[in-house]
Amino acid sequence: MITRGSRFYFAAAAVGFFSAVLYGFITGASDQGGVLVVFSDGGVVDSLLGPLTLGWKGWVGEHVGYTTLIAFAGVMAVLGGFTTAARDADAESLAQLQGIDAGELPAAAVPAGLSWWPMLCALGTGVVVVGLAFSNVLMWGGVLIVAAGAFEWTAKAWSERATPDAAANAEYRNRLLQPVEVPIAAALIIAVVAVAISRVLLAVPKSAAVYVVIGLAVVIFGVANLLARRPDLKSRVLGTIVLVSLVAIIAAGIAGGIAGTRDIEEHHGDEGALAQVDFSTTVTASDTDLAAPSVGA
């Protein structure tokens, strides 16, 4: 019997195989003059047999894309077979295969909660790939993101299995990592907000920059005052408000960076005034004459 989890793998394998056949047929027909030419000349059989028989009969067009799709289909099929053999790692099915009563199985451990750290690692990997093409600074920034996400992910996985008590595990994890996480996160947030706001202030006109700063300060003060008056707010709601605000500031900073800086006038200050002063003086011989001291006999 095909298990529920393996059906997804087999479906992905089928999609990959039919995509490979379609890709091989279209690219092979293009090499023969086009799809319409293949149908009119009777070469449609060879165009279909090639992708269906992995190139044993007929022809295949572009080999790299076709091979990639076939390899994907094969990997999905193998994973589906492994998942079927393992019965989706279902405890009751495995116990039935081994002749063990399902009632004797221990209770399954319930995960402590969803983890955002895998998504952070994926984001860091994307930043690394983009940095390889554009900037070394961006690449190393992505490496730091991946390292931080992997460390936090490992610590979360360890803490969830430290003891059978989920509350005690969360307390152990907080005692270990919060003294490091809180100052680092605060420093990063301050740096990101400062850079983003500076990009906005440099992009808007000089007369509007003052009002932008004042308005931003009023909004921050108002939101902080509102949150202080509502101590009964859940941490999830508070975290959502902070996250949305941070994303809005970062988006504004990105928009300001794309818009570029405004034309800033150069201020010479005292250097301009000193440049207008003529320091050239005429030195005469009388100015340099010094009274020679008289030497008595």
* Residue 201: strand, helix, or coil: helix
> Comparing 87-96, 116-125, 172-181, 210-219, which segment has the lowest mean pLDDT?
87-96
Question: Concatenated DSSP letters for 212-230?
Answer: HHHHHHHHHHHHHHHHHH-
Angle between helices 166-203 and 235-259 (to 10 degrees): 30
C-alpha to C-alpha distance for 168 and 223, rounded to whole angstroms: 33
Give the model's pLDDT for residue 279.
Answer: 47
Does residue 112 surpass a pLDDT of 60? no
Smallest Cα–Cα separation from 30: which of 1, 65, 6?
65
Alpha-carbon dihedral of residues 52, 57, 62, 67, nearest 10 degrees? 50
- For residue 104, the 8-state DSSP code is G
* Alpha carbon 35 to its chain's center: 41
Q: Which residue has the higher pLDDT, 9 or 297?
A: 9
Give the model's pLDDT for residue 156.
Answer: 84
Give the model's pLDDT for residue 242.
Answer: 78
Smallest Cα–Cα separation from 206: which of 271, 258, 269, 267?
267
* Alpha carbon 66 to its chain's center: 30
18 token code pair: 């039919």
Tens digit of each residue's pLDDT (9 = 90 or more) over 118-148: 888 888 888 888 888 777 877 888 898 899 8
* Residue located via tokens 């076939």: 70
C-alpha to C-alpha distance for 227 and 212, rounded to whole angstroms: 23
**Which residues, at least 6 apart from 83, have a Cβ–Cβ distance to it below 8 Å?**
3, 5, 6, 9
Does residue 274 surpass a pLDDT of 60? no
* Alpha carbon 63 to its chain's center: 32
Give the model's pLDDT for residue 23.
Answer: 84
| Residue 6: other Cβ atoms inside 10 A | 22
Give 97's pLDDT tier (boundaries 50, 70, 90). low
60 token code pair: 């295949």
Give 267's pLDDT tier (boundaries 50, 70, 90). low
Work out the average pLDDT over 238-246: 79
C-alpha to C-alpha distance for 80 and 6, rounded to whole angstroms: 4
What Cα–Cα distance (Å) separates residue 64 from each residue in 49, 61, 137, 208, 243?
Answer: 18, 9, 33, 55, 43
Give the model's pLDDT for residue 155.
Answer: 85
Give the model's pLDDT for residue 293.
Answer: 52
User: In the chain, helix, strand, coil percent, each to 5?
Assistant: 75, 0, 25
